[in-house]
């Protein structure tokens, strides 16, 4: 994404609890602020994204645009505010939500974003290595528009991630399956 869009067109907000997985993006001009490493950082980024989503929805309504694409199409003609695509990346989601209070706060904002943020150009990527039905709630999973799975250990794990078994049978490196809603 960063190769295809300028920093004015794309903003990345990154959370990496390990602090090692996303370090290569540290100096990338697309990255807004520092790469967060704690649940508090995720909460702050998610809550700010919810506020930005609400602001963008008001702009869409004001300009009678049904979504970000319609808004951007008319933006040049009407000299509208340029709205960059925003991508929030939450790596190691299980670690971020290991504390029950943090989980509740993170899920509240994430649920709202997963349901409708894509319409106004805000996208969320949630990654986890720990597979469990309670790590990412069914409500959040069902509202994320794309699910992607690398090879997992069992058909049960595949059903948790993809709602169907198949990911356990993936062979070779760099193979995955995806599901779009």
Query: What are the phi and psi torsion angles at 115 (to 5°)?
Result: -70, -40
pLDDT (tens digit per residue) in 15-69: 999 999 999 999 999 999 999 999 999 999 999 999 999 999 999 998 889 999 9
pLDDT of residue 77: 66
Tokens of 138: 């069914």
Confidence check: pLDDT of 172 > 90 = no
Q: From CA 16, how far away is CA 5, in angstroms rounded?
A: 22
Q: From CA 136, how far away is CA 51, in angstroms rounded?
A: 22
Q: Where in the chain is the domain with CATH 3.40.50.300?
A: 10-144
Residues written for the chain: 181
pLDDT (tens digit per residue) in 64-101: 899 999 998 876 566 678 899 999 999 999 999 999 99
pLDDT (tens digit per residue) in 133-162: 778 888 888 888 888 888 888 888 888 888
pLDDT of residue 165: 78
From residue 147, give the alpha-carbon distance in Å to each of 78, 84, 161, 162. 36, 23, 7, 6
pLDDT of residue 171: 85
pTM: 0.88
pLDDT of residue 129: 86
Domain 10-144: top CATH class: alpha beta
């Amino acid at each position: 994404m960063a190769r295809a869009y300028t920093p004015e067109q794309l903003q990345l907000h990154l959370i990496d609890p390990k602090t090692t997985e996303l370090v290569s993006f540290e100096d990338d001009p697309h990255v807004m602020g520092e790469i967060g490493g704690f649940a508090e950082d995720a909460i702050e980024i998610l809550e700010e994204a919810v506020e930005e989503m609400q602001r963008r929805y008001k702009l869409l309504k004001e300009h009678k645009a049904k979504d970000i694409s319609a808004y951007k199409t008319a933006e040049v003609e009407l000299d509208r505010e340029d709205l960059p695509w925003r991508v929030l990346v939450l790596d190691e989601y299980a670690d971020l939500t290991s504390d029950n209070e943090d989980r509740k706060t993170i899920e509240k904002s994430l649920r709202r974003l997963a349901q409708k943020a894509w319409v106004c150009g805000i996208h969320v990527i949630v990654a986890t290595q720990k597979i469990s039905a309670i790590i990412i709630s069914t409500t959040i999973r069902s509202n994320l528009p794309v699910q992607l799975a690398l090879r997992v250990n069992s058909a049960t794990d595949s059903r948790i991630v993809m709602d169907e078994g198949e990911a356990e049978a993936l062979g070779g490196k760099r193979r995955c399956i995806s599901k779009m809603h």
